[in-house]
Every structure is written in structure tokens, then in C-alpha cells.
Amino acid sequence: MTTATPNEVLLIAPVMENLQARLEATFVVHRLYEQADPVAFLAVKGETFRAVITRGDIGVTTPVLEQLPQLGLIAVFGVGTDAIDLNYTRQRDIAVTITSGALTEDVADMALGLLLATARQLCFNDRFVRDGHWLQKAPGLSVQVSGKRLGIFGMGNIGRAIAQRAAGFNMRIQYASHRQDTTLPYAYYPDLLALARESDFLVIAISGGKDSAGLVDKTVFDALPAHALVINIARGSIVNEKDLIAALQNGDIAGAGLDVYAQEPQVPAELIAMDNVVLQPHIASATQETRQKMSDIVFTNVEAFFNQAPLPHAIE
Ligand code: 8YV
């Protein structure tokens, strides 16, 4: 009797521990991020891998893909594909799967959480209490969220989920996006600057990637009213971070709530120093429930791939 050799998979970056354990129980898992010399490792082992697993924020570089001649699947733990060259994967017929549907609600929750935390100064006031300042003076006033004008940049699944939540706060919801969805009851602005001019809060919810890089820049910060707050739960690359810092320093906008940054995990010292900025470490989808769903989806797709079954979460 011959025993089948387990399939070998390549992990580009760490994922949830229980997903790693599940993968290890079924496949032989190699960790590229633990290799002292990844290029030399792939020169020897690259040909054995037909599937890689990576994270949305990390993706996989084309030079790495070039060292994987047998590759048929990239299973992404996340929904972002901006760190993968999809033209290249299409050319090579490499399937890409994402954890679609699993994280929409959590990311929308985080957008509202950041908006409330920034406008109502939750983190600042938490420190105010802990540091004993309340014993000496009264807390300051913050900014109302309910009833304000919310501009959403990007009206995909996450944008819609944000709008749904904002409706509960009686906000006037409006959006800019590459096309209007006439089934939505929200005001549509074909132009981001026009949306910015009319928004008290701007939430960035478009996909990252080459097309959206740097779209939220000085021109947008200048167009926003000086009392505006900017929330980003999408990708750091969409915002020109230098322009954001300058806008906050000059008072062109009043504050920001950020989950994502240009060079994660580096967060500019200028942002860290500002009390009117709320910072999160790219954790919008990081709840136990969602991360479990994401893990299950990744595993299901890798398993389906090796069983030559249809991939339930393939893109395009
Ligand atoms: C995850 C993400 O935090 O879905 C994405 O593209 O960036 C995030 O939801 C990430 O993929 C896991 O680290």
C-alpha cells in the first residue's frame, strides 16, 4: 500500500494560529517569513508549491510568484487584493480566493466606532479619567455625530454596511464612487471634492491598489470643512499621509480616526502626538467571530483546490 504524500503549501505571512494548525494537520506547511534567505529557499523548493496562503494586507510579490512555477492558488486571508498583481495572476491562470462576506460587518462597525471615538473624544477622555485630570478640571465639549452629513468614499459592500449603520444615527448619507447605484437612497457625487465640500465626516471605504493610491490628498483636505473628521478603514495607500498630517497640523480638518497607514506597522510620530487622532493597529476585521470565519473560508478554498473542486470564494 502506498501512502499519498501530503500536499505542500507556502505561508507568506502568519495567519490565525488555529488556521495554521488546521493547515498543518492536512498539508505540509512551509513558512516563507521564517526563511533566512527566502529567494534561496524558493530557488530550491519553489517548484513544489501549488498553493500559497497570504493576508490581504501583505499579498504576495510578483518576484515571489515568479519563483513558484507550479502555482495554481493564492488563498487570501482578507478581502484586499491590492498587494497582488492580478494581471500577472490572470496571465498565469493562478486562481485567487478572498474571504468575501466574512468581514463586512466588522469593518463597518469599526468605521462607526472610529467616528464616534474621534468625534466624542473617547480615547482622549479615557486618558483624562485615568490620568486623574477629572479631579482638577471639567472635561471639554466634543462634537455631535447624530444628524450630521456623512460622506462615504466608495460604495461597495463595506460602504453600504457603513451607510446602514449611519442611518441609525439619522445622518445625511452621501457618497462618491466610480458609478452611481440608483437603487440606493443616498445622494451621489461623481466627484470626491464635491462630496468633501458637503461632508462633516468623510469615511474612506474604497478598495486599495494602484487606481486609488493617494486619491485623498491636500485637495480633498482643503475641500473639507475645517470641522471635518476623516475616517480610514480601507487602505493607508489611499491617503497621502504627509498631506493628512499637514491638514491636521494646519487645522484644515479637525481630526482623524485611522485603522490603516501607508507603511504598516509604522505610524508617523506626528499622528501619535495628536490628541484629535484615534489610532487602531489595522484590526477592523479582528474579532474572534470574523477571524474564525475567515480562517474557515481560507481552509475550505485550499482544500477544494487540492481536491480539484470548484473554489467557493474565487474572484472573477
Ligand atoms: C485583514 C485586510 O486585517 O481584508 C483585508 O484585506 O486588510 C484585513 O481585513 C488582513 O487581511 C489580515 O491581516
236 lines ligand 1 (CB under 6 A): no
Closest by alpha carbon to 155, among 126, 192, 130, 125?
192
- Global pTM reads 0.96
The predicted structure's pLDDT at residue 6? 83
- The per-residue pLDDT for range 185-240, each reduced to its tens digit, is 999 999 999 999 999 999 999 999 999 999 999 999 999 999 999 999 999 999 99
- The per-residue pLDDT for range 114-171, each reduced to its tens digit, is 999 999 999 999 999 999 999 999 999 999 999 999 999 999 999 999 999 999 999 9
Q: Sorting pLDDT into bands at 50, 70 and 90, what band is 72?
A: very high
The CB density around residue 258, as the number of other CB atoms within 10 Å, is 24
β partners of residue 175: 152, 188
Which residue's alpha carbon is at the smallest distance from atom 12 of ligand 1?
55
Rounded to the nearest integer, the mean pLDDT of the chain is 97
Stretch 8-36: mean pLDDT, rounded? 97
Closest by alpha carbon to 214, among 229, 198, 192?
192
Report the separation in Å between the CA atom of 234 and the middle of ligand 1, taken as the mean of its atom positions: 9
Q: Is 154 left (phi over 0), alpha (psi -120 to 50) or beta?
A: left
The predicted structure's pLDDT at residue 316? 76
Which residue's alpha carbon is at the smallest distance from atom 8 of ligand 1?
78
290 lines ligand 1 (CB under 6 A): no
Count of residues making up the chain: 316
Report the separation in Å between the CA atom of 283 and the middle of ligand 1, taken as the mean of its atom positions: 8
2: pLDDT strictly greater than 60: no
Which residue's alpha carbon is at the smallest distance from atom 4 of ligand 1?
78
The predicted structure's pLDDT at residue 5? 78
| Nearest atom within ligand 1 for CA of residue 208 | 6
Which residues are catalytically annotated? 235, 264, 282
Report the separation in Å between the CA atom of 181 and the middle of ligand 1, taken as the mean of its atom positions: 26
55 lines ligand 1 (CB under 6 A): yes
Cell numbers found for residue 205: 471605504
